[in-house]
Amino acid sequence: MANTRILSGRSVVVAGAGLAGLAAAVRLQQSGAQVTVLEARDRVGGRVWTVRNGFADGQHAEAGADLIETDHDAIRRLAGQVGLSLTPVLEGGFAFVRRDSRRYPSNPVSIARGFWPEIAKLCEPWVRAYRLTEQRWDSPIARVLANQSVADWLDQIRADRRIRAAVQGMRGFFLADPEELSLLALVDQLASESQGQSRFYRIKGGNDQLATGLARMLREPVQLHTTVLAVTQRRGGVRVTVSGSDGIQAKIAADVLVLALPATTLRRIVFTPPLPALQRRAIRDLRYGRATKTQLQFDRRFWQRQGRPRAYGTDLPIGAIWDANEEQRGNAGILTLLAGGSASIETERLLAQRGIRGLTDHLRWLGAAQASVLASRAVCWTDDPWAQGGYAFFHRDYDPELRAWLARPHGRVLFAGEHTSLRWQGYMNGAVESGWRAAAEVEALSRQLCSRA
């Protein structure tokens, strides 16, 4: 429980009104701080974005962050605090579809379940060694893993075509191709897997309700259309230079600043004094996965058949596929296509050359020819100026010892965001936990400042 007095009289600016920034802001306010939240977009939520316009039957779909899992305790708890409930979806999890060059696209060669445990078994020697290091990214084992790509590892173990296709299908998870992705990132994910089958959930009524609910809890409204340009630290506090939608600059003074922004946005901010050299490298070198997320609303839910999965990882150019709104009423239904890595480029090319038909042709094996498209929406997160990608991934060129610097405080400037999370990087849960961590660090800093006074 937050101490309602520890931050009394303190002013905190939070830059970024995604889940990380909003989670931090509410915690800080509960601790007595005067909180000002800045957001460059015209809405709160960041990469959590529920699309509610343009679909028949009043349906909606998640254009950004989508699924919550069983062990995502932070976001589940936060949703409960805001008065929101979760609804289970995608029972049975993801299967894998691999195309057959002779018969595709009319029929894939296989629809296989359980491909993830098979990959985990092949990776087990590395996972076991990595766990012995307590999953430290500054260990010699981490460095060996970081210096090779997943594609390199597949070559070393002489993986067959089936395994290579399954790993290629993980572009919809990591948002990176095997040639780009560090083997350390794969091993770290496998080493962190909880025991037992994880279930998937969404927030009933739309994930954006969590962001808007948190924003309503703040005493001061979020300042939208406000971009952070520069941060200056002095002995008595911080001064944040911002620009509004009209281009007019202003300065905001505070005791502490929480930057809950993607690394892609942090790179554009001028810091005085500068960030430490290693922290600048950590932010500069971090890559964000190419991601195009498309929602296709059909007049019937042809993919819902007895005994058939409702979610697929694939090696198809349209990426991963899953039921986007099985929990919603209406005859119509929405499929989500998440194209990560090179699949994002392929999807964008299909859309440019053939429109939605270019995507639905790759769904013929699922039964798309039986239905009509009522509406569609495609979002390329790589083109989004405030994200420039779906979420962070660790490239084979990324120095693993730099990872800790992503979350390291710089004087009165603290950092949050999914990219700073060690356990839940890439997830909404990681964003929430990072916001809570940053709020706790503000409290610790306040105590430190009080002891010096």
Secondary structure letter of residue 361 according to DSSP? G
Residue 37: which residues within 8 A CB-CB, separation 6 or more?
13, 14, 15, 17, 21, 22, 25, 215, 218, 220, 222, 223
Tell me: cis bond preceding 105? Omega within 30 of 0 counts.
yes
The reply to whether domains 11-44+222-286+399-452 and 50-71+83-203+290-383 share a CATH topology is: no
Pair 434, 418: CB distance under 8 Å: yes
Query: Would you call 43 exposed, middle or buried from its count of C-beta atoms within 10 A (0-12, 13-18, 19+)?
Result: middle
The strand pairing partners of 415, in sequence order, are 259
Q: Is 444 annotated as ligand-binding?
A: no
Relative to beta strand 413-415, strand 256-259 is: parallel
Q: What is the pLDDT of residues 65-81, one digit of tens each?
A: 999 999 999 999 999 99
Pairing of strands 200-203, 86-89: antiparallel
Q: Which regions of 183-262 does DSSP assign to beta strands (E)? A: 200-203, 227-234, 237-243, 249-254, 256-259
Q: Is 442 annotated as a binding residue?
A: no
Domain 50-71+83-203+290-383 has CATH 3.90.660.10: yes
How many other β-carbons are positioned within 10 Å of the β-carbon of residue 222? 23
Q: Is the pLDDT of residue 109 over 50?
A: no
The annotation status of 39 as a binding-site residue, yes or no, is yes
What is the pLDDT, as a whole number, of residue 107? 55
Tokens at 130, concatenated: 């990595």
Who's near 305: CB < 8 A, 6+ residues apart?
Answer: none
The mean-pLDDT minimum among 115-124, 168-177, 280-289 falls in 115-124
Report how far residue 146's alpha carbon sits from residue 165's, in angstroms, rounded to the nearest whole number.
Answer: 22
Q: How many CA atoms lie within 13 A of 333 on its CB side?
A: 16
pLDDT digits (tens, 9 = 90+) for 110-140: 566 667 888 999 999 999 999 999 999 999 9
**What's the rounded Cα separation, in Å, for the pair 234 and 65?**
37
**Domain residues of the chain, as ranges?**
11-44+222-286+399-452, 50-71+83-203+290-383
pLDDT at site 45? 98
Does residue 247 or residue 1 have the better pLDDT? Answer: 247
User: DSSP letters of 294-315?
Assistant: EEEEESS-TT--TT--SEEEES
Residue 85 burial by Cβ neighbours in a 10 Å radius (0-12, 13-18, 19+): exposed
Look up tokens 């794969």; give the residue: 186
Find the farthest-apart pair of alpha carbons in the chain and give their distance in angstroms, rounded. Answer: 75
Within 10 Å of residue 313's Cβ, how many Cβ atoms?
28
Residue with tokens 């920034």: 21
Give the Cα separation of 116 and 125 in Å (integer). Answer: 16
All residues at 6 or more sequence positions from 41 whose CB lies less than 8 Å from its CB, including other chains: 17, 224, 225, 386
Q: What was the pLDDT predicted at 253?
A: 98
pTM: 0.94
35: left (phi over 0), alpha (psi -120 to 50) or beta: beta
Structural domain 11-44+222-286+399-452, CATH architecture: 3-Layer(bba) Sandwich (3.50)
Task: Give the span between the Cα atoms of 73 and 222, in whole angstroms.
Answer: 26
Q: Which residues of 55-78 are buried (b: 16+ CB within 10 A; e: fewer)?
A: beeebbbbbbbbbbbebbebbbeb
- pLDDT-derived band at 92 (thresholds 50, 70, 90) equals confident
pLDDT in tens, 382-415: 999 999 999 999 999 999 999 999 999 999 999 9
